[in-house]
Chain A
Amino acid sequence: MENTTFLVVEDSPTMRQLISFSLKRFKNARIIEAVDGVDALKKLSGERIDLILTDINMPVMDGLKLVSLVRQNAQLQNIPIIIITTEGAEEDRERGLALGANAYISKPIQSSHLIKTISELLSTALG
Chain B
Amino acid sequence: MTTDDYNRKGEKFLELFNKGKEFTEELLRENQRLRYRLASVEATGAPSANQEEIQQLRAQMQVLADENRRLHERFREVEEENKDFATRYVEIEEQNNNLANLYVASYQLHSTLDFREVIQIVQEIVINLIGAEAFAILLLDEKTNELRTIACEEEAPWTGLENLTVRWGEGVLGKVAKSGEAYYVNQDIEGGEITLEKPLAAVPLKIKEHVIGQIVIYSLLQQKDSFSAVDYELFSLLAAHAATAIFSSKLYSQSERKLNTIQSFLDLLTTT
Contacts and interface: CB of A to CB of B under 8 A. Distances in A.
A107 B128 contact: yes
Contacts of A78: none
B128 A110 contact: no
A57 B92 CA distance: 32
B128 A12 contact: yes
A30 to B, nearest CB: 19
A125 interface: no
A86 B93 contact: no
B221 interface: yes
**What's the dominant secondary structure at chain B's contact region?**
helix
Nearest to B97: A111
A17 interface: yes
Given A107-B128, A108-B128, A110-B97, A14 B121 contact: yes
A81 B94 CA distance: 25
Given A14-B105, A88-B222, A88-B223, A107 B125 contact: no
Contacts of A18: 100-101, 104, 128-129
Contact of A106 (B107, B108, B221): B221
A13 interface: yes
A21 B100 CA distance: 7
B128 A14 contact: yes
A22 B108 CA distance: 16
B103 A108 contact: no
A17 B222 contact: no
Interface string A102-113: 000011101110
A89 B155 CA distance: 15
Contacts of B128: 12, 14-15, 18, 86, 107-108
B260 interface: no
Given A108-B129, A110-B97, A21 B104 contact: yes
A118 to B, nearest CB: 15
Contact of A111 (B93, B105, B108): B93
Interface in B247-263: none
B108 A17 contact: yes
Nearest to B100: A21
B104 A108 contact: no
Interface in A3-55: 12-15, 17-18, 21-22
A106 B128 CA distance: 10
A33 to B, nearest CB: 14
Contacts of B130: 108
Contacts of B223: 88, 106
Contacts of B124: 12-15
B221 A107 contact: yes
B127 interface: yes
B224 interface: yes
A6 to B, nearest CB: 16
A15 B90 CA distance: 23
Interface string A83-114: 00010110000000000000000111011100
Given A107-B128, A111-B97, A89 B104 contact: no
A12 B105 CA distance: 12
Contact of B221 (A21, A86, A111): A86
Interface of B: 90, 93-94, 96-97, 100-101, 103-105, 107-108, 111, 121, 124-125, 127-131, 221-224
Given A18-B129, A111-B93, 10 more contacts: A13-B121, A17-B108, A18-B100, A18-B101, A21-B103, A21-B104, A86-B131, A88-B224, A107-B127, A112-B97
